[in-house]
Amino acid sequence: MKKFTYFSVAIFLFFIFAGSVLSGALELHSVISGHIQHFDSFHESWSLVVLGSLLITGATVLRRRKAARVNG
């Protein structure tokens, strides 16, 4: 029963991920085919990419500081 539950959750998460990828691909296609008239919609996406990168970098720095304190 546990394997079935994990499998069901994995399939559910896969479909969510695939849907978001498909949505992004469709938006990119509409931008390219629409002669860049919808390009403003990507402004939010790029700001989220930058924010995510900053959060990941900050987490990495904090993890390295914590490891340095433990080891040193």
Domain boundaries, the chain: 1-37, 39-72
User: How many angstroms separate the Cα of 2 from the Cα of each of 7, 44, 47, 57?
Assistant: 9, 40, 40, 36
pTM: 0.39
Cβ atoms of 31 and 39 closer than 8 Å: yes
pLDDT tens for residues 49-65?
A: 788 888 999 999 999 99
Give the integer Cα–Cα distance in Å for 23 and 6. 26
67 token code pair: 């490891």
pLDDT tens for residues 37-53?
A: 555 555 566 677 788 88
